[in-house]
Amino acid sequence: MRSDRITYLRNDTPTGVARARNRGVSEARGEWIAFLDDDDFWAPTKLRSQLDACAAKGADFSYTGLVVTDEALELREIASPPPAESLGRDLLGMNVIGPPSCVMASRPLLERVGGFDPSFSILADWDLWLRLVAGGRPAACDAPLTAYVTHPSNMHLDADGALAEFRRLRPKHAELAAAQDRRIGNERWWGWIAFSFLRSGRRYRAAALFLWLGLRFRRPRVLARAAAILLGDRVAGRVRSALPQRRGETDAAAPAAAGWLDAFGASGAD
């Protein structure tokens, strides 16, 4: 049902995610801007929680924890947001905030930093988050108040496109990285790219990147993954069996924290 409080904008021809979001920002009239992609979900308390967090911290933008689900809204993962105190350093490694649906920012801050850069697509959000943290004060909402739905169209990343944009992202934020004595792009970022090559069927490119990661960061298990891709699981299994076993911990309270998603039901992903 349509509402007079909602303005619907439609682009007759595709303009790209950055320009589409910038148009929405320019047409909005509120003091605060929040983003919601059409396949993501917000908890009912998300916006209020972010406004309260910004008021408490005197912040210009905020971001939430993230629930990752499949298309049936079955829980896959709950990701906690990075601390606001270390966000400037953490963001240099990779996009630790997540998708735009997690973020609320003040209009003055968005206007001051220039909004989304239309020259980026895959990394447009990472680029903007770097500029937001350089120009404003962040506040984190620890609860998982945003749901990101995974499906085939977003699981298969254009790794070549991401790398091409990364080569432009790195010099754009070189001064910020130098000020923090950090490099842009950490082990997790490169692992994400390697998995993207693997998911798209480019086994040798993925194996080469995993091999480089294992050697550079001294990760025997990453080397075993490269072996699995090149030599098969049987050989890699022998390598892994000789390595110390890692222990993982599960937060039993995590699913309850995302209970708000149940209200959407399976029909919410249609």
Q: Give the pLDDT of the chain (270 residues) as one tens digit per residue.
A: 567 777 888 888 878 899 999 999 999 989 999 999 988 999 999 999 999 999 999 999 999 999 999 888 888 999 999 999 999 999 999 999 999 999 999 999 999 999 999 999 999 999 999 999 999 999 999 999 999 988 766 645 789 999 999 999 999 999 999 999 999 999 999 999 999 999 888 999 999 999 999 999 999 989 988 988 888 755 545 544 544 444 434 454 556 677 898 888 644 444
**In sequence order, which residues have a C-beta less than 8 Å from that of residue 226 and are 6 or more positions away?**
207, 208, 210, 211, 214
Report the pLDDT value the prediction gives residue 200, as an integer from 0 to 100.
87
Selection from 230, 249, 229, 228 nearest residue 239 by Cα: 228
Domain 17-156 has CATH 3.90.550.10: yes
Alpha carbon distance 143, 48 (integer Å):
12
Cα–Cα distance, 237 to 244 (Å, whole number): 13
User: Is 50:138 a contact under the CB 8 Å cutoff?
Assistant: no
Domain ranges of the chain: 17-156, 161-241
pTM assigned to the model: 0.88
Interatomic CA distance for residues 74 and 268, integer angstroms: 12
